[in-house]
Structure 1
Amino acid sequence: MTPPYALVIFDFDGTLADSWRMMGRAMAEAADQFGYRRLEEVDVAALRGQDNRVVMAALGVKMWQLPRIVQHMRRVAMERADQIALFAGVDDLLRRLRGAGVRIAVVSSNGEAVIRQVLGPELSGLVDDFACGAALFGKASKFRRVVRRAGIDPARAVGVGDEGRDIEAASAAAIASVAVTWGYATRDLLASKSPTHIVDSVHELTTMLVGP
Structure 2
Amino acid sequence: MPITTVILDFDGTLASSLEGIWTCMCETLAHYNFTEPSLQQVRATIGLTLEASMHQLTGVRCEEVLTSEVVKFYRALHTTKAAPLMRLFEGAIPALAELRTRNIFTLLVSNKGRAGLHQLITQLEIANYIDIILSAEDVTFRKPDARLYTEHIAPLRSAPNFQTLVVGDTETDILFAKNANLLSCWATYGYGDEQRCKALSPDFELQSLTDLPALITNFTK
Bin of the TM-score, shorter chain as denominator length: 0.7 to 0.9
8 Å contact from structure 1 (residues 85, 118) kept in 2: no
CA distance in 2, matches of 1:93, 1:46: 25
* CA 1:71–1:46: 2 relative to 1, 3 Å: closer
Paired amino acid for 1:176:
L
Question: How far does the alpha carbon of each residue in 1:131-160 deviate from its partner, in whole angstroms, 9 at most, with x for none?
Answer: 111666645332332133111112211111
Alignment of 1:7 with 2:10, yes or no, is no
* Structure 1: unaligned runs, 5 residues or longer: none
What's the offset of the Cα at 1:44?
3.2
* 1:175 corresponding residue in structure 2: 182
Asked whether the 8 Å contact 2:91–2:210 carries over to 1, the reply is yes
Once the two structures are superposed, the pairs formed by residues 43-62 of structure 1 within 5 Å of their partners are 44=41, 47=44, 56-61=55-60, 62=62
Q: CA RMSD, aligned part only?
A: 2.9
1:140-179 pair list within 5 angstroms: 140-144=146-150, 145-179=152-186
1:185 deviation in Å?
Answer: 1.1
Contact 2:5/2:106, CA 8 A, preserved across alignment: yes
Q: In 1, Cα distance between the equivalents of 2:12 and 2:121?
A: 14
Q: Which residue of 1 aligns with 2:209?
A: 202
What's the counterpart of residue 101 of structure 2? 99
> What is the one-letter code of the residue matched to 2:130?
V
Report what 1:119 is aligned to. Answer: 121
User: What TM-score do the two structures reach when normalised by structure 2?
Assistant: 0.80
Alignment counterpart, residue 87 of structure 1, candidates 86, 89, 99:
89
CA distance in 2, matches of 1:109, 1:48: 12
User: 1:148, 1:129 → 2: CA distance?
Assistant: 12
- C-alpha deviation, 1:118, in angstroms: 2.6
Against the structure 1 CA distance between its residues 35 and 209, is the aligned structure 2 distance closer, same or farther, given a 3 Å change threshold? farther
Partner residue in 2 for 1:71: 72
- Give the conservation status (yes or no) of the 8 Å contact 1:14–1:184: yes
Residue type matched to 1:166 in 2? D
SS of alignment partner, residue 126 of structure 2: helix
Counterpart CA distance in 2 for 1:17 and 1:204 is 16
Count of residues in correspondence between the two structures: 208
Distance, in Å, in 2 between the alignment partners of 1:30 and 1:88 is 30
Distance 2:88 2:147 in 1: 26
CA distance in 1, matches of 2:48, 2:131: 29
Q: Is the alpha carbon distance of 1:101 and 1:139 closer, same or farther for their aligned partners in structure 2, counting shifts above 3 Å?
A: same
Q: 1:22 to 1:43 in 2, by over 3 A?
A: closer
Q: Is the Cα–Cα contact under 8 Å of residues 137 and 165 in structure 1 kept in the other structure? A: yes
Instruction: Give unmatched runs, 5+ long, in structure 2.
Output: none
- Cα contact 2:166–2:174 (8 A) shared by 1: yes
